[in-house]
Structures are given as structure tokens and as C-alpha cells.
Amino acid sequence: MKVLVSDNISSKGVEILRKAGLDVDVKTGLKPEELKSIIGEYHALIVRSATKATADIIDAAKNLKVIGRAGSGLDNVDKAAASKSGIVVMNTPGGNTITTAEHTIAMIFAVARKIPQANASMTEGKWEKKKFMGAELFNKTLGVIGLGNIGGEVAKRAQGLGMNVIAYDPFLSEEKAKQMGIKKMEVAELIKEADFITTHTPLTAETKNLINAQTLKTMKNGVFIINCARGGIINEKDLFDALESGKVAGAALDVFEKEPPENNPLVGHEKVICTPHLGASTQEAQENVAIAVAEQIVDYLVHGTIRNAVNFPSIPADQVAVLQPYINLAEKIGSFASQIFEGGITEVTIEYRGDASELKSSPVTIAALKGLLTPILEETVNFVNAPFIAKERGIEVKETKSMDAGDYQSIIVMRVKSPKKELSVSGTLFSKKDPRIVKIDDFTVEIVPEGSMLFMYNNDKPGVIGNIGTLMGKNNINIARMHFGREAAGGRAISVVNIDSPVSDKTLNEIKNLPNILDVKVINL
């Protein structure tokens, strides 16, 4: 079988592929049209971040069985198109965890002690000792937003430096936080208490512009801000204004909204330290991910074993046809529930009813957990590690089975609990393969779980639907589908609108201000 390595990876990874008897071509720097013209010859494609495995490329990849990413991020791979074509997408989660955590700690030291600025001054022959007065880390409070693999390692190292660590992570239980010696709190509380704030979340609708003019105002005077996660989590213009006013004492940025940044006033600012997305850039990390992805490709192509797949669980070939539709449904239910639920999750129950109760449920439950965890933890979650991640965060997972499916032949119910609230989302299959969400708590609906949608709680009053439609038209946003459910006439209701284009923050605020709209969220499936 033939493997194409289209981005630079360690030669140790290429050596593993060839020793396994695979025919390997290393062709880096290919233009999209060049890649498209040759991809049909290959059974596996290995990329880093440069190659864009778009739907157009995937459509031309008639023999492709697997795409392997030497790293964790998969922004450059169209996972939906790959799944539709039956192509397994793998990444190497954890391969850059330590190196990114170390880079974050280095950035914290550097911004606190103004090391790059002092070095630049020295190279100019100056001795400006008073100008570069720094700040100690000892006994200061570090706020970690996102306590996943990388955030957790940063927290450990900060504790070793004598810092007090507080954290926000919606999937972190109070018990687990106590075991780690970390005080868990909501974002709004964290940013008020922290002397240093570091972000370790994916870029989602919920985290985009998480640090902005409004949140910056509530922070301590002289706060330090560090971002080695994703550009866009911090509103760069608002950060610049806060630096100019003196509200923020310093910032250390490894990522930017646009990379490489062009005419960005933060680059070169006297209070800002910038690095060109170096979080995973160590020799050790690059070797680790190259070896890992090569071994995973060999396992799949030679031995038929799937590891670290983000779009496919490890199940026997003879069960794929039966289980795959339920796996898809469960992942959709989990992702939907995650994006509308607020609070730290402590318990998840998956109920299999009717025909679903006769399934081999383990891979379906894993799919539901993967869907639940992915919107917050993004590419670090796959079909292998989802149960372990849930356990690490103190989430208890249960399964129940019953032949009673009510009005349906088969149904899956996910119940998500926190100490203060509970949410249930139910789904079924139409025509044995098409997923539908049919109930949210006590609201009966019929939602096609795909693409972008607006999820709204509203009062069941005349004019709500018309106002939503008018506002969408005014903003040139096409509505693909609309779904509604209500508890009782004139009571509380939900509205779900599938849309064909993204909703801006401005439009989202306009929707929130419509009469009888109680809450609105953007859901991406």
C-alpha cells in the first residue's frame, strides 16, 4: 500500500512506515491542485498543519483509507467529508502536551520578568535596570481557563513554583479539582481573582473573544495574560487598548487571530512578548508525533487496528453496518447536549430503549461521550480516550437498557447531570440511518442534527417566529430548517433554526434582544 507524507515530519516516522513494508513518498510543499492530481494513488495521507485536506481533495482520493495528523489539531482536515467517504481520520493527542505546557510556563516567566525586552536593551549596549522591574510568581494566583491535558500540566508546574492555581473547566468536578489542589470557579469569578491568566481551550463559539473589553474591565489592575492555545480566544483590539491604558501589565502570545499576523499592533508592543506559534515546536515533540502517527498508520493498514481515530471507533468489521448509524446518532446527541448544558458535569447516563437495547452498546456509549466532551476539549478527545477523560474529570458514566421505547421502535436518551441541574436529550433513527433529536427535556421536537443552528428558549407568544425570520433575512442569513417545541400553549418553548452561514456576535445580540427570547446559543454539529 502507498503512503503520501505531504508535510515535514521526523525521518524516524518515515523509517517506521518503510520497515512495515509500506511504499512511502515524501512530497512536501504541494499546491492544492498538485495534491489533488496525485492523491488518488494513495491509501494513506500523513499531514501536519500545512496541507489542507479539503472536501475537494478527499473527493479525489478514491483509494484513501486513512488520514493521519502528526499532532493534535485537525483544523486543516475536513472530518465530515472524510467520514462520509469512509476515511478514518487519526491524530496524535498528547504528543505535544508537555512541550506546550513548558512553553506556557516559559512565557509566564518571560512576561513577568520582561526578559526579552531586557535582552533587547542589553544588545543595544544599554543598562536599564530600573526600567525592567519585574513581578514575582511566588504566592501569586494563576487562573487557568481550560484544565485539559495541557492546562493540567501547566497547573502542576505553577503549583511547583508556589503559585495558587484556580481554574475554570465545565467538565471538571469539584472532587477532582480538590484532588489536584485547585480551586474551581466560573470564568467571571476567575478573571476577577487571578494575577496571571492563561488560556487552554479550543476556539469555539463559546470561547471566541472570551477575553474582551467587558471581561478585561473586571480583571485586577496589572494583570498578566498568556495565550498559547488558539488565536481568537482573546480580542486583540481590546487587549491592545487594555495594555495602552495600563489595565494589563503584560501579555505573552504564541497564537494570533491571523497567522502570520500582519500589521498587528500587539507585535512589537513594549508590554507584549510574541512567539510564532512555537507551543509544539521542540525536537522531542516533533519526533514523538511522527513516530506515533506512523505507528498508527501501520497498525491500521497492516493489522486492521484503529487507534486514536477522531471519527471512528474500534469495532469488528461485521458489526459496522449495524452500529455505525447508532454511533453517529449518539455522537450527535452528546455534542448537542454539551453545547446547550451549562455547569460542571458530574454524571452521564445513556439509556438504550427498544431495538437499541439489543445493541453491543459499548462503542455507542463511547461515541456519546466523545460527542459530549469534544465541544470543550476539541481534538484531544477521540474514540479511544473519551471514557478515560470522563473518568479523569470525575464524571460517572452509567448505562441502562429497556425494551420500552414508547412511540419509537428504537431510541437513545442521554441524561447529563450537575449538582444543580439535569438535561435529557433523546434521539432516534429515521429510515434506520438518519439521526433525529426528538426530545429535549419535556419538549417534543424533530431536529435534524447537522450544520450550524440557533437554539433558543423563548416564551410561546405570537410573533416570535416572525421576528426571528425577519432578523435572519435582514442579516442575509438563509434559514434551512426551523423546529419548535413547547411545554404548553403560552408557556415556555424552544426554537431551533438551522442556518446556512455563521452568525456574527452583533446578530446574536440582536436575537437575544428580540421580544420573548429568553436565551440563545449557537450549536455546531
**If you average pLDDT over residues 239-244, what whole number do you get?**
98
Q: How far apart are CA 327 and CA 73, in angstroms?
A: 23
Residue 382 has pLDDT above 80, yes or no: no
**If you average pLDDT over residues 487-501, what whole number do you get?**
87
H or E segment and range at residue 508: helix 505-512
pLDDT of residue 318: 65
For the beta sheet containing 196-199, the strands, ordered from the edge strand earlier in sequence to the opposite edge, are 183-184, 164-168, 141-145, 196-199, 223-227, 248-253, 272-274
Active site residue 284: no
Q: Who's near 179: CB < 8 A, 6+ residues apart? A: none
In the set 113, 269, 277, 492, the catalytic residue is: 277
What is each CA distance from 466 to 6, 148, 240, 459, 521, in whole angstroms? 50, 42, 40, 14, 19
**If you average pLDDT over residues 89-118, what whole number do you get?**
93
Residue range 363-373, pLDDT digits in tens: 999 999 999 99
C-beta of residue 69 within 8 angstroms of C-beta of residue 6: no
Residue 378 has pLDDT above 70, yes or no: no
In the set 259, 284, 396, 422, the catalytic residue is: 259
Q: What is the mean pLDDT of the chain?
A: 91
**If you average pLDDT over residues 225-229, what whole number do you get?**
96
Q: How far apart are CA 276 and CA 283, in angstroms?
A: 16
Active site residue 303: no
C-beta of residue 287 within 8 angstroms of C-beta of residue 12: yes
Cβ-based neighbour number of residue 385 at 10 Å: 20
Q: How far apart are CA 135 and CA 326, in angstroms?
A: 54
* Domains of the chain from N-terminus onward: 1-93+281-312 (3.40.50.720), 97-274 (3.40.50.720)
Active site residue 483: no
What is each CA distance from 18 to 23, 138, 298, 329, in whole angstroms? 6, 50, 9, 38
What is each CA distance from 196 to 119, 128, 285, in whole angstroms? 23, 25, 26
In the set 103, 230, 393, 486, the catalytic residue is: 230
Peptide bond into 325 cis (omega under 30): no
Give 309's pLDDT tier (boundaries 50, 70, 90). confident
Longest dimension (CA), the chain: 81
The angle formed by the CA atoms of residues 185, 191 and 256, to the nearest 5 degrees, is 115
C-beta of residue 226 within 8 angstroms of C-beta of residue 239: no
Of 98, 114, 366, the closest CA to residue 251 belongs to 114
Give 379's pLDDT tier (boundaries 50, 70, 90). low
Q: What percent of the chain has pLDDT over 70?
A: 98
Half-sphere exposure of 172 (CA within 13 A, CB side): 25
Q: Who's near 503: CB < 8 A, 6+ residues apart? A: 452, 454, 475, 477, 511, 522
Cβ-based neighbour number of residue 409 at 10 Å: 13
Q: How far apart are CA 66 and CA 77, in angstroms?
A: 12
Residue 74 has pLDDT above 90, yes or no: no
